[in-house]
Chains A and B, each alone.
Chain A
């Protein structure tokens, strides 16, 4: 056996190298690991050669074709957006949600609707009540869902909460809202051995969020402390072309240029391929240009489509076609994120044969590697 100790290998290959996304997949599945204040750490020595930690971790190894097969019944696509049925603009019709939402409230509205209609009976969401250390929570009513709307731009070990409720018989159909890395982890868990995957069919809905990066605490916290004395209650990245991150306290707004903030991006994000949460049932992001106050929604799976269409039909959300320019810009952005990730991976490993956590070579990855090779020549 190659791995003598699974946990230690995870520690040395993923956590200590900055590949860990803080998704929380390994935590809650294993008593040896804990997520605390922006870090996943090994609390005790486990000498198991194979453990749940590695079976769940999307950054120790990930086979995109295998994940794609599990979710979509086919190989990983060439398209930068991943597997998509259609892309559309949407926004909530509920003014209460609109008031709290980051963009147009589609995520909150869809999750609330899914619970009301019995698609799910509980939802794993990320709570930003602790502004520095967002965590997963289990929501089982509208109010709890509404409380979690908005965005923090901070990584959260949300799957830890998922792992904790998955065995509980009270939670039979579970929904999840998460970032691309969290969604990848959940789907990888579906491909894992039975002790991890046995209850995953309770997961009835995954709503993915577009994500370019997440900030790393406590470094970002220390940066903020020097600039702002009051606690931050909300973050916002205003639409293009503002190019700033705004932090709101109860009294005022502080804006930092993105260039100032980028050094605090989690190192793990530099190796991320996924802008649009490609393995979710449906993925949601912001709008721009003429559809600024709308959400961009990528409908990916059968059940994602069923939920979305039903919500639209019942007037919970209103929809609009995506402007042609927006779609091509989104595809380009998604492709570019992949390209940057592959560049960074190759830079880290120093060779094109070793792509860190990426196992297998779907066509698009081969193409990106080839482009990198040409670029470096």
Chain B
């Protein structure tokens, strides 16, 4: 996997410290390093958030140990404040920041081209096109980082990070065991010399880096000496372009300049190739980053030459969503005025038909037995019963699916991590403007540590009127159950002191109530009670381990069954309350018997549906 290749590259560079907060598609990098940490004497941690992770890595670098941090594009935004500072002061040992973008937002709330960050902070940027390059580039990034005494960025995307490919391994390098901080050096800060001076050095560095990039083996041209069309590409675009040319048999007329070092551009190399062709197609993922920089270069260095650029601005390559070979084929046939049928119509129709027949539509939903389902059910009922039109704000996490029917459409705002509580702070201060609705904010346990604590403290101090629903499912569930500071175990599986969320909140002076989301009646009652009070933040902690995580080590709580004669099916008048409204995937509607059944293959035996059925047709038997 690309992410494993990145981890391997770091090991071959002799990385000593790795720190990150999990985030798809970057998570497996640290997971892989954690797996070998004990054997190779590394220090690997799941940090509380990305900013702290980058700071941990920077600390290691300043102490003379090569360090890596990896994050998704949204995580990089969390770390930006520190990156903006450390890029000016510089570092000591190699510090590599891997950012994994998510074109198409397959598992993100935004789509972002993080390459702009490298340009913004004048840092070198490498973009891998294959798993092999992902390894080799990461390894090289450490050397480059040390050459310029600054952070080096490696950009991956989902299709690199999550794709598998052949990788020729290099030697592992021993980690230096002579870490120390040189206190005689001038301090790492811009405050003494003035930030503009440091900024000037950064720009001088860029020239130096561009020089290094001129001879980088990650850049290269393949194609005819004078192509009719030149494709300039990077990352995933390289293989897509290569495949498109092959399918269209354009090897004799189209050439590819593939760049692995995309900021700063190796100007001489690029100019040399741009001069070969009048038509240039730029193929890249997300923004017109490369395209814009190439245009600037062309205007500055190749004056008086007519050159047509195709890409994002001409509409040939989409500036949002993922790209693929079909998109490149369409661009090429359009520019070169040739014809190619990607998929003939009859085949397309047949494929669609077969897909529709055999691939079941699945909506985003909570897993069977997910504690969030019980909590959202109780929340829905209590808000209806309470009748004051309570508003639930939230953020990204498994519970973010609460915007859809699996969470009974209760979640009304969902942005960055911890933002629900911040937004609730604002809504909770509108009383003087006539606002009367109760405000509730939700976040998970991992998110609470990551980004919610300052917002809670803010609310306490401002006496904002909101209820924090802390959905504690004992781990960072959405990214694969990584531990967080509330878990008595660290990234490498060793025991670690756990910070108790309830104690923390109580320590801040907030009233805390613990509920069990599997007991929907009691949870509803407690929510109703809390909704009745107002005037300051209150915390409800919903405590149940993620059912998938639990199923790994423990038996189900209950054996679930349906008493067939008790279930009145379609004649019940409940209008399929269990499968149409409650919607746990562990409940199946049998279209032949027109009654409900338990899908024993996926039911985890949480027992909650027993309390939903108006006919008491579902039973639970304790498993010992």
Contact residues of A with B, CB < 8 Å?
A: 29-32, 34, 36-37, 39, 41-48, 51-52, 195
Contact = CB atoms under 8 A, between A and B. Distances in A.
A41 B572 CA distance: 20
B6 to A, nearest CB: 47
Given A34-B385, A39-B387, A44-B581, A195 B380 contact: no
Contact of B384 (A30, A34, A48): A34
Nearest to B581: A44
Contacts of A39: 387
A32 B572 CA distance: 13
A164 to B, nearest CB: 10
Given A29-B573, A30-B573, A43 B380 contact: yes
Interface string B347-391: 000000000000000000000000000000000110011010000
Contact of B614 (A31, A36, A47, A51): A31
B573 A48 contact: yes
Given A51-B573, A51-B575, A195-B573, A41 B384 contact: yes
B387 A41 contact: yes
B380 A48 contact: no
Given A30-B614, A31-B614, A43 B571 contact: no
Contacts of B573: 29-30, 48, 51-52, 195
Contacts of A47: 575
Given A30-B614, A31-B614, A43 B384 contact: yes
Interface of B: 380-381, 384-385, 387, 408, 568, 571-575, 577, 581, 612, 614
Contacts of A45: 581
B190 to A, nearest CB: 58
Contacts of A51: 573, 575
A127 B119 CA distance: 73
A166 B408 CA distance: 31
B385 A37 contact: yes
A29 B573 CA distance: 9
B575 A46 contact: yes
A42 B408 CA distance: 14
A44 B577 CA distance: 9
B377 to A, nearest CB: 10
A36 B385 contact: yes
Contacts of B380: 43-44
A254 to B, nearest CB: 25
Given A30-B614, A43-B381, A195 B387 contact: no
B211 to A, nearest CB: 66
Given A30-B614, A43-B380, A195 B571 contact: yes
Nearest to A46: B575
14 contacts: A30-B573, A30-B574, A30-B614, A32-B575, A34-B384, A43-B381, A43-B384, A44-B577, A48-B573, A51-B573, A51-B575, A195-B568, A195-B572, A195-B573
A107 B612 CA distance: 37
Contacts of A30: 573-574, 614
A13 to B, nearest CB: 19
A46 B614 CA distance: 14
A42 B384 CA distance: 8
A34 B528 CA distance: 14
A75 B454 CA distance: 72
A31 B574 contact: yes
Nearest to B612: A31
Contacts of B408: 44
A52 B385 CA distance: 21
Contacts of A29: 573
Contacts of A42: 384
